[in-house]
A and B are shown apart, each in its own frame.
Chain A
Amino acid sequence: MISKEYLISILDKKTRVDGRKLEDYRKVEVEYDISKNAEGSSKVRIGDTEVMAGIKLEVGTPYPDSPDEGTIIVGAEFLPISNPEFESGPPSIASVELSRVVDRGIRESKALDFKKLCIVEGEKIWMVLIDIYVMNDDGNLQDAAALAALAALSKAKMPKYDVESGKINYKEKDGKLPLEKMPVECSLAKIGEHILVDPGIEEEGLLDARLTVASVGKEVNALQKGGNGTLSIDDVDKMLKLAVEKNADNLKKVKK
């Protein structure tokens, strides 16, 4: 618990409540294969924030406008144990936003080759279900969720599918998912006149504006702005530059 004026007075001294510098990211840890039943799974920790992701594959029918493309479905759940403000029940606005941000990072970067997820054109495709569970919220769930989803995708194995009988054999594996690119996300906050990387939970509660940047290498694929404040063009330029830099660091944590 901290007041906004006091937080800004700390930021004026070029440091933050948890002792980091404005442009420092917290310690990132990635753990693989935490679930036996999922095709791919991972757990990501950013400081005390903890997010799990699991990949399941199912066979479905394609959308009429893209008969030869597979699809992804991202679901995010905020477990009530992770933050006193989260409640069980229908998805909250924040959890819908989180799943959308993760979805967009993967979809818009064309990380998965959707064409390779097609089994029979117009009839059968692979649906990649990415489920995200927030175990502990200490701020910046977006980055943790996106990194967890990417780590799980990078390790996921395709199950065997028999077209004639229409049965999926989850026990036998049939190669990896067609993951072509590695999109990583970085969130930045603007508080007062300061721009900070990887906001913690106290900073998240007091920020004026937030920008989440998804990028592959130097190519920015998706942006999501949050908060009621405004961002100038200079702010966005600075944020994009920082985000691309931090994303390159975080990508090293994910094994190919």
Chain B
Amino acid sequence: MAKLLVKNKDLVVPGEVLVEGMEYLPAGNVFRDKDKIIANTIGLVSIDNRLIKLIPLTGFYTPKKDDVVIGKVENITFSSWFMDIGCSNLAMLSLKEATSEYIERGADLGKFYNFNDVVVARVINVTKDGSIDLSMKGPGLMKLSNGRVVNVTPSKVPRVIGKQGSMISMIKEKTGCKMTVGQNGKIWIQGPDPKNEKKAVDAIKLIEEYSATDGLTEKVEVLLK
């Protein structure tokens, strides 16, 4: 008989035993050791019928295909750019995927995207050995010339966006800022005035801090007033 040792939304730490017995199945961020299911990371328990998984409180970004991310140019080679998107490997943007313009042989690639330029790109491929390919072709993918980038824990990105983008559109509307949220937890903000940008940053910080509590939307609304 399976013994459930935790409740839904319990906070657990790595190594904590969640279930004894074979009736439950391990899903994300947990693993099975003989008849036990054990937490792999710090996070909140989520029980869905027989599936046990953890919603991580913090952690690094693991790239997935079709994620829109914000990256910074770290290196330029003869035929590609390498971008820091906040995970262990640099992501590669190849010449073919960078622009639809004609690039002459031997042209200076720094003219298109130079060191420390910030771009919005899409992940088109992630291989098993960890190399990541990016593309700049698609709607909304561009170089970001002005504005600032703030970081949140990647696991909190869904809370920043909200249901059907409700949270992010509220911040955009109330502060008048342009914003782009990367799935890697980097958020680009550009506003009409530094004060508006600061408000948007504060709102994001608030969401990150209180993401696991009820009434988050109200809290953000009060802050933005």
Binding site for B on A (CB under 8 A): 1-3, 5-6, 9-10, 13, 15-19
Question: Given A1-B149, A3-B116, are A19 and B72 also a contact pair (CB < 8 Å)?
Answer: no
Which listed residue, B72, B118, B194, touches A17 by the CB 8 Å rule?
A: B194
Distance in Å from the Cβ of A68 to the closest Cβ of chain B?
54
Distance in Å from the Cβ of B42 to the closest Cβ of chain A?
15
Chain A proximity mask over B178-218: 1 for CB below 8 Å, otherwise 0:
00000000100000011101100000000000000000000
Q: What is the bound-complex CA distance between A135 and B186, given in angstroms?
A: 24
Distance in Å from the Cβ of B208 to the closest Cβ of chain A?
13
Question: Given A1-B72, A1-B118, are A10 and B149 also a contact pair (CB < 8 Å)?
Answer: no
Verify B194–A13 contact, CB threshold 8 A. yes
Give the bracket for the number of chain B residues in contact with chain A.
10 to 19
Q: What is the bound-complex CA distance between A16 and B193, given in angstroms?
A: 11
List B contacts of A3 (CB < 8 A).
Answer: 116, 118, 146
Chain A proximity mask over B126-154: 1 for CB below 8 Å, otherwise 0:
00000000000000000000111111000
9 contacting pairs across A/B (C-beta < 8 A): A1-B148, A5-B146, A6-B147, A6-B148, A9-B146, A13-B194, A15-B194, A18-B198, A19-B195
List B contacts of A9 (CB < 8 A).
Answer: 146
Docked complex: B90-120 residues within 8 A CB-CB of A: 116, 118
Interface centre among A3, A6, A15, A18 (most CB of B within 10 A): A3
List A contacts of B149 (CB < 8 A).
Answer: 1-2
List B contacts of A16 (CB < 8 A).
Answer: 194
Verify B198–A19 contact, CB threshold 8 A. yes
Question: Given A1-B72, A1-B148, A17-B148, are A10 and B194 also a contact pair (CB < 8 Å)?
Answer: yes
Q: What is the bound-complex CA distance between A18 and B72, given in angstroms?
A: 22
List B contacts of A17 (CB < 8 A).
Answer: 148, 194, 197-198
List A contacts of B197 (CB < 8 A).
Answer: 17
Verify A15–B195 contact, CB threshold 8 A. yes
User: Please, which residue of chain A has its CB at the minimum distance from the CB of B199?
Assistant: A19
